[in-house]
Amino acid sequence: MTVTDVATRTYNHNFRLDPIVRSLLDTDFYKLLMLQMIWRRHPDVTATFSLINRTRSVRLAEIVDEGELRAQLDHARSLRFTKKELIWLSGNSFYGKARMFAPDFIGWLSTFRLPGYELRKADGQYELVFEGPWACTTMWEVPALAIVNELKSRAAMRDRGRFALDILYARAKSKLWEKVARLQALPDLAISDFGTRRRHGFLWQRWCVEALKEGLGDRFIGTSNVLLAMDADLEAIGTNAHELPMVAAALAPDDAALVDAPYRVLEEWRQHYNGNLLIVLPDAFGTKAFLAGAPDWVADWTGFRPDSAPPVAGGEQIIRWWRQKGRDPREKLLIFSDAMDVDSIEETYRHFHGRVRMSFGWGTNLTNDFQGCDPDGGAGLDPISLVCKVTSAGGRPAVKLSDNPAKATGDPAEIERYRRLFGVPAYQARAVRV
């Protein structure tokens, strides 16, 4: 006898929306760490975040329906932190530390909602812009990216039959498990999920996280996704992002203050956080310039996250600098997180094993690798290089140079000015796939 739950079936018929983001915790942990500092120290700073699709060949506005996009963004704006979520943020330990988030900050979060957005189409792309207080707009980065990426996935799968989808996910599961099996061969691996923003979809990210937990055990050290960390009792992973030095630099009154901005940001950070949260992200305006000008105390920090240099070269550059500063790299941590996949993880792991502590943040190639999985072929599920960057702060343009010239963002004249101050890129441009 077939038993059908008629109530559920009827309810399912009436779905108006299948929401992509259903919790304000469905974001990266570093956003919350940064948010607390921004809220405490820069409550009056305004910052504009903008969606940027670096994969211009994918004309998103012709793929993703505007009405659906607005409905998803509007739904995200309707979200509030729930009591359970705030209690967990207050009561949980992060990076071994209790009470990471101050009671007054938690109190402010209880009233938080995502601010408004401006959306229009231009040249086949969406212009999606978030303007307002930095402490509000910063929180759009991850949900905006997750929404656009999942709507793109849904569009690619819209005409697929039930069976094609079955094969699609069977292949994707098999593919990820082959990667897990290869990673099992690296005994001292420490790896975390950094794939929220570029994920194929929320449920798929959750499956990927479960796969790593199952397959890698303690070598899977956690996820950047706060909601998944809470639900699966995993460590929430993340420290800080380029927006901190970018905003500080944009606000700098003169060139001297601009050149000093990356270090001022670290000064602020260490007044809020310590231990394994003292991770330097050195590449906002080029790692070479950053290291050349860095005060001695920066070498006391726990580690670096080289995020746009080639991993081996970038890691060696930092190790050399630690040695120059008289520090033992074996006591230091390197976090690799730029477009990593199993090949580059293996290569980097083997190159540095025993010479430095390492961990890996695995993003797009963990949560959105469907290449070769679609039985109907096509590239509709290929990930794109979509980012949501701070583009101005306090009304002044924000710039990122990065170690990969192909990743530079900002007004061209400002980029030129920053290059005069920080020097030309030390690395060749590398194609940005994701």
The residues of the shown chain that bind a copy of itself, judged by CB under 8 A, are: 3, 5, 7-8, 11, 161, 163-164, 166-167, 169-171, 173-174, 177, 181, 210-211, 214, 375
Smallest gap, in angstroms, from Cβ of residue 346 to a copy of itself?
20
Distance between CA atoms of 341 and 349, rounded to whole angstroms?
12
Return the number of the residue (164 or 259) whose C-beta is nearest a copy of itself: 164
Shortest separation between residue 219's beta carbon and a copy of itself, angstroms: 16
Is 136 or 211 the residue whose CB approaches a copy of itself more closely?
A: 211
Instruction: Indicate the residue among 164 and 432 with the shorter CB distance to a copy of itself.
Output: 164
Neighbours of 204 (CB within 10 A): 20
In SS3 terms, the chain reads as CCCCCHHHHHHHHCCCCCCCCCCCCCCEHHHHHHHHHHHHHCCCCEEEEEEEECCCCCCHHHHCCHHHHHHHHHHHHCCCCCHHHHHHHHHCCECCECCCCCHHHHHHHCCCCCCCCEEEEECCEEEEEECCEHHHHHHHHHHHHHHHHHHHHHHHHCCCCHHHHHHHHHHHHHHHHHHHHHHCCCCCCCEEECCCCCCCCHHHHHHHHHHHHHHHHHHEEEECEHHHHHHCCCCECCCCCCHHHHHHHHHCCCHHHHHHHHHHHHHHHHHHCCHHHCEECCCCCCHHHHHHHCCHHHHHCCEECCCCCCHHHHHHHHHHHHHHCCCCHHHCEEEECCCCCHHHHHHHHHHHCCCCEEEEEECHHHHCCCCCCCCCCCCCCCCCCEEEEEEEECCEECCECCCCHHHCECCHHHHHHHHHHHCCCCCCCCCCCC
Nearer to a copy of itself among residue 3 and residue 185 (C-beta): 3
Q: How far is the CB of 214 from a copy of itself (least distance, A)?
A: 4
The residue with tokens 């940001």 is 265
Do 199 and 386 touch, CB atoms closer than 8 A? no
**Alpha-carbon Rg for the chain in angstroms:** 21
Least CB distance to a copy of itself at residue 253 (A): 52
Measured from the CB of residue 173, what is the shortest distance to a copy of itself in angstroms?
4
CB nearer to a copy of itself: give 11 or 297.
11
Smaller CB distance to a copy of itself: residue 142 or 172?
A: 172
Of 168 and 388, CB closest to a copy of itself: 168
In whole angstroms, the minimum distance from the beta carbon of 170 to a copy of itself comes to 4
**Whole-number Å distance between alpha carbons of 423 and 420:** 6
Identify which of residues 177 and 297 has a Cβ nearer to a copy of itself in the complex.
177
- The CB-of-3 to a copy of itself minimum distance in angstroms stands at 5
Q: Which CB atom, from 84 or from 120, has the smaller least distance to a copy of itself?
A: 84
Calpha distance 119→124 (Å, rounded): 13
CB of 108 to a copy of itself, least distance (A): 28
| Closest separation in Å from C-beta 164 to a copy of itself | 8
> Nearer Cβ to a copy of itself, position 10 or 57?
10
CB of 373 to a copy of itself, least distance (A): 9
